[in-house]
Amino acid sequence: MPELIIRRDGEETRVAFEGTPLLNEVLAREGLALAQPCGGRGRCGKCRAELSGAVSPPNEAEVRFGSRLACQAVLLGDCKATLPVSRQMEQIQMDGDLAGGVLRPMPGKYGAAVDLGTTTLALKLYRLSDGRLMGSAGKPNPQGQTAADVMGRIGAALAGGLPRLERQVQQAILGLLETACREAGVPVSDVESMVVAGNTTMLYLLTGTSPLSLSRAPFDAEDLFGRTVPLMGRQVYLPPCMDAFVGADITCAVLASGICQKEQTALLIDVGTNGEIALWKDGALLVSSTAAGPAFEGAGIHMGCGSVAGAVDSVWVTADGRLEAHTISGAPAVGVCGSGLIDAVACLLKTGQVDETGASARPKMTLSGSVHLVPQDIRSIQLAKAAIAAGIETLLREAGIGADEVTELCLAGGFGSHLDVNSAADIGLIPRELTGRVRVLGNASLAGAAALLTDTAQVSEVNRIASLSRHVALGGNPRFNEAYMEHMLFP
């Protein structure tokens, strides 16, 4: 039987395999799979590896990237693979306000609130007798090894990968629970209750539910949850989703924001892979989601990365017109993450290196050291920001108001927490009028889940929020299509 020698971070692993599998298939069995934001189609180049021995010759995609790709290279016999140095995510968003109030907790000594995000997972452990935070943990969502976005994961699930995706995320959550309990000195067995908030697709995959209804028109979810289920050896409450693509994470974010308990008009945005938007006005909650894609998470960007040490997270223009950049942890630049991308594009527009159409005469635009953007990166940001901006405009027009009538703009999620709102306005991601009305919520999905865990009376409130919602479909919507084309241009 042929053998693959895997080298990573100075360690060597020997794995026997049968047949002629893809490199990433063998890596996945060993828990070493490289991320495939493009779903393994050879389009993003993120699963680069060094290969030698009996392997297939480079195909067209690998020639284009000038590197072997784990999603494309086929193992034919004894061979060696050297993987990139693994980097730990540095900025998984854990912060989010948990408003104090009457304590009516779920059953047990301890409980855990979980934000099951497309890109990252975050967990907080609470002592339920007094609501004290005991520990927390976070990590990238391992399903990102399969695809960066929900549609890619839906496709993988329908192709027979549902049990693996379910197992991956449940094991990841239990691993976070063990980490938090170890930090707190609490037996894992004492955790009886959990609340898991996530988008609709993530909850389908968590529970092993076939996402077939989410994969085709009319995209009517067969299950919108809003109930307690036995899962991972515990009683787990899954908050209600508002639509097939506006999930429980946004319901919880709205709960945490408190906007539905106020008379003022408010807009809530989670600028991520899915781009969920909620508009509260006159007792009605309009909600929608737009497929922004994973560009804001660094996926699909030539040198994009997550919030790892060395990721460019902010960029500015100096007095003499040069670009300067800051990296996470002050480490040497290794790539650029979402907040850095927004800053970078805003600065490139300001210095004239990119025009309003997104065109640039330069084959690459340096940010720091060897880290740079290429014209296709600008195009990816254009597509993503146009989707979010058009979604905002469509909801505002549906409500019959302009951006100037919105009293407050709530930014939820990790990306929104690190976003420079002026840079976001400079590239046309958010309306300029709202830059002075921003309230950063942090991980509002996690905060909402924690509120439900520690006060069961909030269950009726989260159900009320879901019942007040009205989904505004953007697919085939002429208002959205018109706005999308207009927002393709930079301001």
Q: What is the pLDDT of residues 35-76, one digit of tens each?
A: 776 767 787 777 888 899 999 999 988 887 788 999 999 999
pLDDT of residue 8: 82
**In the chain, where the domains are located:** 3-82, 110-252+447-455
Average pLDDT over residues 397-414: 93
pLDDT above 60: residue 430: yes
- The C-alpha atoms of residue 68 and residue 56 are separated, in whole angstroms, by 10
CA–CA–CA angle 208, 204, 275 (5° rounding): 150
pLDDT of residue 212: 96
Assign 103 to helix, strand or coil. coil
pLDDT of residue 90: 45
Average pLDDT over residues 470-479: 91
- Cβ neighbour number for residue 25 with a 10 Å cutoff: 16
Task: Place 337 in a pLDDT band, splitting at 50, 70 and 90.
Answer: confident
Query: Rounded to whole angstroms, what are the CA distances from 103 to 57, 97, 127, 227, 458?
Result: 63, 16, 11, 20, 11
Mean residue pLDDT across the chain: 90
pLDDT of residue 184: 95
pLDDT of residue 86: 65
3-82 matches 110-252+447-455 in fold = no
CATH number of the domain located at residue range(s) 110-252+447-455 in this protein: 3.30.420.480
Give pLDDT tens digits for 107-130.
Answer: 999 999 999 998 889 999 999 999
- Kindly state the percentage of the chain with pLDDT values over 90: 68
pLDDT of residue 91: 44
- The C-alpha atoms of residue 138 and residue 120 are separated, in whole angstroms, by 7
Least confident of 330-339, 371-380, 381-390: 330-339
Give pLDDT tens digits for 36-46.
Answer: 767 677 877 77
pLDDT above 70: residue 307: yes
CATH of 3-82, one of 3.30.70.870, 3.40.50.300, 3.30.70.260, 3.10.20.30: 3.10.20.30
Which residue reads 């009886």 in tokens?
Answer: 192
Give pLDDT tens digits for 145-198.
Answer: 888 788 889 999 999 999 999 999 999 999 999 999 999 999 999 999 999 999
pLDDT of residue 457: 93
Query: Rounded to whole angstroms, what are the CA distances from 394 to 16, 35, 271, 290, 292?
Result: 54, 34, 16, 11, 15
Give pLDDT tens digits for 124-149.
Answer: 999 999 999 999 999 889 998 888 78
- The C-alpha atoms of residue 38 and residue 71 are separated, in whole angstroms, by 10
